[in-house]
Structure 1
Amino acid sequence: MLGVDLHLDIGAGSRALEAALREAVTSGRLPAGTKLPGTRTLAGDLGVARGTVVEAYAQLVAEGRLVSATGSGTWVADTRHPPRRPEPPARPVFDLRPGRPDLGLFPRALWAASVKRTLAAASRESLDYSDPAGLKVLREAVATYLSRARGVRADAGAVVVTSGFTHGLALLSRALHSAGVRTIGTEDPGLAHHRAVIRAAGPATTPLAVDSEGAAVPSGAGAVLLTPAHQHPRGVVLSPGRRAAFLGWAREHGGIVIEDDYDGEFRYDKNPVGALQAGDPDHVVFAGSTSKSLAPGLRLGWLVVPDRLRVPVLDAVAATGATVGAPAQLAIADLLDRGDYDRHVRRARQVYRKRRAELAARLAPLDGIPAGLHALLPLASRQEEKRVLDAGLAAGLQLQGITTAGYWHSADRPEAGLIIGYATPPQSAWRPALDALAEVLAGAAIKPW
């Protein structure tokens, strides 16, 4: 008969097992509700007589530390004090910070079915140590999807599977540094965390000013990080002229453009702008993930890498030992191949389109195009940003400011605003969250940049 493993340090003497069990329970090493092995199983594991185990269990049951029922076994009792009188219910807290989708939209049934289906059919080899670039079945599915849905020029050999965009950026920064790149240009404003990831891998960062046409072309950088389809956080699209200028810069200087397509599937007024990578696959790395389309907790993304960077990137994967688990790779490949991923994105797009329109109707002027999972509301000053954040906190709103979150390369920049993550709340909380936000912003000093 088999049971759970249980480690006990048993000394000499007839009461040794009883004392060891008592210590494990009182110290919390065996928490309340833990099912203990049967007496016969534990006796065999410890090399003691079954009667010794029966006596030890009986004593601890008598002390109230264990609970035993015929046919159900023995488990650790809950000896905690009864809870105090319930507190009055707290005011609802609404999370409107950017960076996450509505996790309630995650297609759990589709995902569970995909995991079950693919694991049942998986070969032994697919569960072994695999190609650091990722399972071929997923790389093929990603290449097909990106070619069709985002206009990327790719085949399976160019795809590297990552555990999300940040992981991909760390790999690229390390690979670029090993190839001699000492400075990477990043958008200003842009995520401070991305700058930190780049610097941790070796290269320095330099700001690329962002205006209504997107980021400015760099000088003195060997690579750049862009969000061309929907700049984060301003929400503008990289203009055709700037797209051509960046590609021209990359060709002339041998530079690399890292294209972060973090929410490129979500455009609400027209079809999403195509990938910059299609203009020059030899100089652009296309990077995407499932963090905005499905859920960040999946920890799954991809890079489409030019030939000259493939070996350095795979060397970085090998050096860090960071790869994505086979079950997740098999499941997402299945969703892509069956069209379930596309159908989910379409459903989510309808939800977010409606929320974005409702947000725009209540708050004006929002910066940027109707796209993505966030919108920027410009404010008159840093002081006004802090006042609104404090008022929001008092009203039960979790908000994010552009200056307080470190989006500017320089702390002296005067432009301020809220980055509103309208996709974050669950569907049932969206309208109350919007009402609370509108109330907090009533009379706020709004100033377009």
Structure 2
Amino acid sequence: MQALREAVDSGRLAPGTRLPPYRSLARDLGVARNTVADAYAELVAEGRLSARQGSGTRVADRAAPLPTGRNAPVRPAAPRPVVHDLMPSSPDASAFPRSDWLASARRAVSAAPNDAFGVGDPRGRPELRTALAEYLARARGVRTEPDRIVVCAGFAHALRLLGGILDGPVAVEAYGLAFHRGLLTEAGHRTVPLTVDEAGARTAELAATGARAALLTPAHQFPTGGPLHAERRALAVDWARAHGGLLLEDDYDGEFRYDRRPIGAVQGLDPDRVVYLGSTSKSLSPALRLGWMVLPGELVDPVLAAKGTRELTSGVVDQLTLADFLSHGAYDRHLRRMRRHYRRRRDLVVRTLADRAPDIRVSGIAAGLHAVLELPEHTEPLALGTARRLGLALAGLHSYRHPDSTTPPRDGLVIGYGTPPDHAFPAALDALCQALTALPRS
């Protein structure tokens, strides 16, 4: 309640702002409905909120920021805080399967051998590696054995470890996360961009890069959204075989495909030339800090040497819990629910934009948790500026472009439809449409 009171008093919640129904807010916060209802009632009694039948609970018109006195210190105007989060980063945190996860944790801890609570094995718990080998073979077409899997703290951790054992330049997609390129640069590797189009990265360019490894997002190119065409997958594997190269396959959201069954992993084409990288960051939660590397046999020992003699990054209890979650089918059930959930959100994005911003083309929507809104040339900065003024967080395509790319930059917005809880999603879409309708027509 104190946070709500401060938000009203400071003006972060403007007069007239409609608050979510207390049932929705209670569900998102994981508290009892009565707790939120009592807080609303007290703030209504204080005059900070108003509640009317049929119009919900709103910030009262008289509730304005506290006035500043003549002697108050002068502060520069702060940018409007984020009110609507459409950054392409996280899943819907409110959808974390708390009950099923807790049930798995209880079973896993009860069944765990005593040695599970000793010094951790840098490979990861055998229970988890065994469960992952079975699941990845069945769901993603990955060919491996538990001994070729190394558990890590997520994709960034895996890339740091691999960066320490790779040689020479690394080819990357011309559109991708600057953070990932930075990790490779910190490890001493020059990154060379591969052109990206509607069929994914142009892997025919690999031979001319001089690279010894290539980082790709084959199932769902990030951020432009398309899958890597079958012919380009084959070309990438052929390059790796002919040049002694290595493909790093970032399968960050491969489970979420809506138009057909998820596309199988490139790793299945050649397990000795592809490192498969996955995590729970999109499927469950980035807070778990759990990921995995499926390695060619010859890389297992070098990766373990880079990781160290003890497990210092991924908690054993979470590893055991995930192993149980996988083996009891809870992970599959959760993914089925979330595919329906995110597909509904994606469909709402498409319908809303078709109705309110019909000039904007939406792409990259066959899979994943984000979409690309293609903008008229040179309008991306205007769209981002308008979004900031509306308290809307999203990303522009320019921020993902490799600085050495020779292809002309594209104007667009990358919006994540996974992050907001259900009650906040319609308002976020409304703010997005406001930002788009402010753009000049092409």
Tell me which of 141, 151, 158 is aligned to 2:148.
158
Task: Indicate the residue corresponding to 2:194 in structure 1.
Answer: 208
Tell me which of 411, 426, 432 is aligned to 1:431.
426
Shift of 1:369: 4.1
Distance in 2 between residues matched to 1:130 and 1:321, nearest whole Å: 5
Q: Describe the superposition over 1:226-264 as per-residue Cα deviations: whole angstroms up to 9, x where unpaired.
A: 000000000011001101100100000010000000000
Preserved CA contact (<8 Å) 1:259 1:284: yes
For residue 397 of structure 2, give the secondary structure of its aligned residue in structure 1. coil
Aligned letter for 2:183? V
Shift of 1:117: 2.2
Aligned letter for 2:270? D
Preserved CA contact (<8 Å) 1:380 1:415: no
Q: Describe the superposition over 1:369-403 as per-residue Cα deviations: whole angstroms up to 9, x where unpaired.
A: 42100011122234x21111111122221121122
- Identify if the C-alpha distance between structure 1 residues 445 and 156 changes in structure 2 by more than 3 Å, giving closer, same or farther: farther
5+ residue gaps in structure 1? 1-83
Distance in 2 between residues matched to 1:322 and 1:367, nearest whole Å: 40
Distance in 2 between residues matched to 1:375 and 1:369, nearest whole Å: 5
Distance in 1 between residues matched to 2:214 and 2:144, nearest whole Å: 20
Aligned letter for 1:208? L
Matched, 1:128 2:118: yes
5+ residue gaps in structure 2? 1-45, 49-62, 66-79, 354-359
Preserved CA contact (<8 Å) 2:223 2:400: no
Shift of 1:443: 5.1
Matched, 1:239 2:239: no
Q: Describe the superposition over 1:306-350 as per-residue Cα deviations: whole angstroms up to 9, x where unpaired.
A: 011111111111179643110010000010000001101110110
Q: Which has the higher mean CA deviation after the structures are superposed, 222-231 or 427-436?
A: 427-436
Tell me which of 363, 372, 375 is aligned to 1:376.
372
Distance in 2 between residues matched to 1:354 and 1:235, nearest whole Å: 18
- For 1:46-445, list aligned pairs within 5 A: 88=64, 93-176=83-166, 181-217=167-203, 218=206, 219=208, 220-318=210-308, 322-363=312-353, 364-382=360-378, 384-403=379-398, 405-410=399-404, 413-442=408-437, 444=439
Preserved CA contact (<8 Å) 1:161 1:302: yes
Aligned letter for 1:266? F
Preserved CA contact (<8 Å) 1:95 1:397: yes
For residue 395 of structure 2, give the secondary structure of its aligned residue in structure 1. coil
Shift of 1:91: 9.1
Distance in 1 between residues matched to 2:182 and 2:82, nearest whole Å: 34
Shift of 1:409: 2.7
Distance in 2 between residues matched to 1:192 and 1:367, nearest whole Å: 22
Distance in 1 between residues matched to 2:304 and 2:440, nearest whole Å: 50
Distance in 1 between residues matched to 2:285 and 2:387, nearest whole Å: 26
Q: Which has the higher contact order (CA 8 A, sep 6+)?
A: 2
- Aligned residues between the structures: 358
State which structure, 1 or 2, has the greater radius of gyration over its C-alpha atoms.
Answer: 1
Q: Describe the superposition over 1:23-74 as per-residue Cα deviations: whole angstroms up to 9, x where unpaired.
A: xxxxxxxxxxxxxxxxxxxxxxxxxxxxxxxxxxxxxxxxxxxxxxxxxxxx
For residue 175 of structure 1, give the secondary structure of its aligned residue in structure 2. coil
Q: Describe the superposition over 1:282-308 as per-residue Cα deviations: whole angstroms up to 9, x where unpaired.
A: 000111000000000100011100011
Preserved CA contact (<8 Å) 1:379 1:446: no
Q: Describe the superposition over 1:252-282 as per-residue Cα deviations: whole angstroms up to 9, x where unpaired.
A: 0010000000000000111111110000000
TM-score by length of 1: 0.76
Distance in 2 between residues matched to 1:381 and 1:320, nearest whole Å: 52
TM-score by length of 2: 0.77
Task: Indicate the residue corresponding to 1:23 in structure 2.
Answer: none
RMSD between aligned residues:
2.2
